[in-house]
Amino acid sequence: MVSLSRITYATGFALILACLLAVPVEAQQLKKRVAVLSFDDKTDAGYSWGGTKTAGEGMSDMLITELVKSDRYTVLERTEINQVLEEQDLGQQGIVTAQSAAQAGKMLGAEIVIFGAITEFGYKERSTGGRTRRFGVGINSTTAVVATDVRMVDATTGEIMAAESVSKEESKRGLSVDTDKIDFGSQSEFDESLVGEATREAIDEIVGLIDNNSGNIKWGASVVTSQGGNVFINAGSASGVEVGQTFIVKRAGEKLVDPDTGIELGAVEKQIGTIRVEDNSVGNGKASRCAIVSGSGFERGDVVRMQE
């Protein structure tokens, strides 16, 4: 006689397995493109990163590094991002909005754009009677504080998918340091410092924020060209695309613009065909060659989506 507990366990296991199998393979593997803009430094502290970067640039570079290491996203190069920002006159700090970030993301082919501002960065300290604070003499305790306001934008719709204020502190008692100086010249030395530890914790929380909300943003790619019955798209093995996968191709139609705010909300998309990946190694895995399954007249810029 089979016990009820064994039946319940088997049923539960079967349900979990069914849920896993119900998730499309493409959804589990395809990597969304992420563009991380330099964080605006609103602290007026004047800290530099290695003498060449602002604290905002350094912090965004740390975020880029962690996203690349996670191997869950296709992260755009800093040089590509800066070029688009300059072309769109978005290079100056303080003028990046959700709408302009989405515009830059579209030009970069990104689904996700991350931007934000550093609101606190540095040390808080307490000193004992009569001793100078500048050189850390007599400091009873030192606390490093890093705080940022982070925004995650869907580049397709311009919608803010997540917004959060991240604040981290690290403290030590009896520490004697020059708290007017933060040296970013050596990444290893920075990581070992109090402010480095607080920054690392903030970065980890931001990565978690992206992980928790990226599933609400659709994966997409674009048609590069159509030649002799083949369609080339700007996503390959590096983006998790596999040979044999089938995608639908849509053409963007009329733009949807909010009549009250003037913010672009996306565009009407019309399906024009279906393609199947034949070679995912084009351009060292940055692109794929696809066979046409149905449809015709594919053009550069047409939108590639997962089958629904």
Phi, psi for residue 8 in degrees, rounded to 5: -60, -45
d(CA 192, CA 190): 5
On the CB side of 282, how many CA atoms lie within 13 Å of its CA?
Answer: 19
Question: What would the CATH number be for the domain defined by 32-216?
Answer: 3.40.50.10610
Q: Is residue 155 within a helix (H) or strand (E), and if so which, with residue range?
A: none
Instruction: Look at the domain 221-306 and name its fold.
Output: Thrombin, subunit H (2.40.10)
93-125: burial string, b at 16+ Cβ within 10 Å, e else: eeebebebbbbbbbbbbbbbbbbbbbbbbbbeb
DSSP lists the bridge partners of residue 295 as 273
Share of the chain above pLDDT 70, in %: 72
Separation between Cα atoms, residue 110 and residue 278, nearest integer Å: 24
Residue 174's Cβ-side half-sphere holds a number of Cα atoms within 13 Å equal to 0
Residue ranges of the chain with pLDDT lower than 50?
1-2, 4-27, 92-93, 129-137, 139, 178-180
Q: What residue has token string 């563009």? A: 35
Q: Are 232 and 226 in contact (CB under 8 A)?
A: yes
Q: Where are the beta strands (DSSP E) in 108-263?
A: 112-127, 139-154, 160-173, 221-227, 230-233, 246-257
Q: What is the pLDDT of residue 21?
A: 42
* CA dist., res. 182 & res. 187, Å (int): 12
pLDDT tens for 171-199 read 877 655 544 455 555 666 777 778 888 99
pTM summary value: 0.76
Residue 148 pLDDT: 93
Strand partners, 145: 122, 169
Dihedral angle at the C-alpha atoms of 207, 210, 213, 219, nearest 10 degrees? -130
Residue 14: alpha-carbon gap to chain centroid? 35
What pLDDT, on the 0 to 100 scale, is given for residue 184? Answer: 54
Structure-token pair, residue 262: 């003037």
Span 122-158, pLDDT tens digits: 877 655 544 444 444 454 678 888 999 999 999 888 8
What does R_g of the chain's alpha carbons equal in angstroms? 24
Amino acid 298: pLDDT:
95
Q: What pLDDT was estimated at residue 192? A: 74
> Per-domain residue ranges for the chain?
32-216, 221-306
C-alpha to C-alpha distance for 147 and 119, rounded to whole angstroms: 5
